[in-house]
Amino acid sequence: MISELPFNLGFASKLFYVGYQNVFFTLLLGLLCITCMHYVAETKKDCEKLKPIFYLAALLTGPYVVYMFFMDFQVGVLIRKRILNLDQTTILIMAIAAAVITINLFTALGRKWDTAKKNAFSGMILSLAVFCVIGDLLKTDYSGGGVLTIAVLYLLRKRKKLAFSMACLELTIFSVSEFTAFLMLIPVAFYNGKRGAKINKYVFYAFYPVHIGLLFLLTLLLGFTTFAIR
């Protein structure tokens, strides 16, 4: 909430602006998403009562993938608008077709899965669908794509290099300008797993709102932007 004021000024030149929320809202949604995943996969993994939810998750997987690709990812939006010129009716038909495909596919796979695997799948898909859509509705920074990035890092957490590679790839598909995220693989590759020098946590807390606020003040003083309450 503290970061939202300088964020509004930096990106909208207004002190109060509801059309775009800072990345900490995305991080919060990502945290809630992986918490739900963990809760179902670890705490409720053998709960027989959750087994029917597997089919709901299978039903939602196809439409969820279609929605995320064509509505959130820059590459998908480009294909939808510039190449295929898809309207909402066509996307809806594609989502329904995808739902039919995924529910049949996962129903077939589900015959070989035990309760724990089904519940883990259900928790992953439903958590992603709910919190990515919330990110889109709230118009948070990176929206649903940011939540998905956090989920990818969590799901692949035991293989750090692969986790970061896949997260960077997902970010690049989300927005081509994010390809520089791959540079983070360099420090990750050299990380020895030990904690570094202890720095006051408030330095890190303050960096995000302070640097955006200073950049806004600089552009305001140079006459490149304006200031408004809302």
Under a CB-based contact definition with an 8 Å cutoff, are residues 73 and 173 in contact?
A: yes
Under a CB-based contact definition with an 8 Å cutoff, are residues 105 and 97 in contact?
A: no
* pLDDT tens digits for range 176-185: 889 999 998 8
Average pLDDT over residues 142-169: 92
pLDDT band with cut points at 50, 70 and 90 for residue 71: confident
Average pLDDT over residues 51-60: 89
pLDDT for residue 174: 87
Average pLDDT over residues 30-36: 96
pLDDT for residue 23: 95
pLDDT for residue 151: 96
Instruction: Decide if pLDDT at 11 tops 90.
Output: yes
104-129 burial by CB neighbour count: b if 16+ within 10 A, else e?
eebeeebeeeebeebbbbbbbbbbbb
Tell which phi-psi region holds residue 21, choosing left (phi > 0), alpha (psi between -120 and 50) or beta.
beta
- Global pTM reads 0.87
pLDDT band with cut points at 50, 70 and 90 for residue 72: confident
| Residues in contact with 74: Cβ distance below 8 Å, sequence separation at least 6, in sequence order | 173, 174, 175, 176
pLDDT for residue 195: 85
Q: How far is CA 131 from CA 35, 66, 182, 185, in A?
A: 11, 16, 25, 27
Which amino acid appears at position 77 of this protein?
V
Under a CB-based contact definition with an 8 Å cutoff, are residues 137 and 26 in contact?
A: no
d(CA 212, CA 216): 6
pLDDT band with cut points at 50, 70 and 90 for residue 7: very high
Instruction: Decide if pLDDT at 97 tops 90.
Output: yes
Return the closest-CA partner of residue 59 out of 129, 7, 149.
129
Instruction: Decide if pLDDT at 135 tops 90.
Output: yes
pLDDT for residue 18: 92
3-class secondary structure, 3? coil
Under a CB-based contact definition with an 8 Å cutoff, are residues 152 and 171 in contact?
A: no
Average pLDDT over residues 24-33: 97
Domain boundaries, the chain: 18-189
Q: Which two tokens stand for residue 179?
A: 């390809």
pLDDT for residue 62: 92
Instruction: Decide if pLDDT at 138 tops 90.
Output: yes
Instruction: Decide if pLDDT at 14 tops 90.
Output: yes
pLDDT for residue 50: 86
Under a CB-based contact definition with an 8 Å cutoff, are residues 55 and 103 in contact?
A: yes
pLDDT for residue 192: 85
pLDDT band with cut points at 50, 70 and 90 for residue 197: confident
Instruction: Decide if pLDDT at 198 tops 90.
Output: no
| Residues in contact with 168: Cβ distance below 8 Å, sequence separation at least 6, in sequence order | 178, 179, 181, 182, 184, 185
Using the 8-state DSSP alphabet, how is residue 18 labeled? S
Q: How far is CA 179 from CA 19, 117, 168, 182, in A?
A: 25, 33, 7, 6
Share of the chain above pLDDT 90, in %: 56
- Residue 177: how many CB atoms within 10 A of its CB? 10
